[in-house]
């Protein structure tokens, strides 16, 4: 199920992000999401915060830790990693070719995106925000 806005979003402007393992999908019109100052504008962390999806970010989204480490299923439509992020990712556990920091990976256009929060990186209770997991973990 998705959490689309009340109005119909034109297909050419639709952004759909699925957060795994929760399986929660959010939808919004590209270019209309307010910036909540969590990571870079239109980053996966910013999307998560706008839609109430818990993604740990101990440093507040300023690329000073790796708690928002994600695996992005398809890198198309995502900004390339910059040097600061690459340097920080050297400290991340279980790096994969699709590893990115949620605070730095920016959605650059409409499309479908799937990201996974690695099991070892899920913090079930942090700063008073519980992570709601789906029944089938």
pLDDT tens column, 29-65 = 999 999 878 899 999 999 999 999 989 899 989 999 9
| DSSP H or E run through 30 | none
**Whole-angstrom distance, CA of residue 84 vs CA of residue 40:** 13
Q: Please compute, for residue 14, the number of CA atoms within 13 A of its CA located in the half-sphere on the CB side.
A: 15
- Domain boundary assignment for the chain: 13-122
pLDDT tens column, 91-122 = 988 899 999 999 999 999 999 999 998 876 65
pLDDT tens column, 75-92 = 899 999 999 999 999 998
In the 8-state DSSP scheme, what is residue 35?
P
Query: 61 CB contacts (<8 Å, ≥6 apart)?
Result: 37, 38, 39, 40, 43, 45, 46, 68, 103
Does the domain formed by 13-122 have CATH 3.10.20.30?
yes
């Amino acid at each position: 199920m998705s959490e689309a806005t009340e109005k119909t979003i034109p297909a050419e402007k639709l952004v759909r992000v699925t957060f795994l393992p929760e399986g929660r999908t959010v939808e919004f019109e590209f270019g209309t999401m307010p910036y909540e100052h969590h990571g870079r504008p239109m980053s996966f962390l910013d999307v998560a915060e706008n839609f109430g999806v818990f993604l740990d970010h101990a440093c507040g989204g300023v690329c000073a830790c790796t708690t928002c480490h994600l695996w992005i299923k398809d890198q198309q439509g995502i900004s390339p990693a910059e040097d600061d992020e690459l340097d920080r990712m050297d400290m991340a556990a279980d790096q994969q070719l699709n590893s990115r920091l949620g605070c730095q990976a920016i959605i650059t256009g409409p499309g479908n995106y799937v990201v996974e929060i690695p099991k070892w990186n899920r913090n079930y209770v942090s700063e008073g925000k519980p992570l709601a997991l789906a029944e089938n973990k």
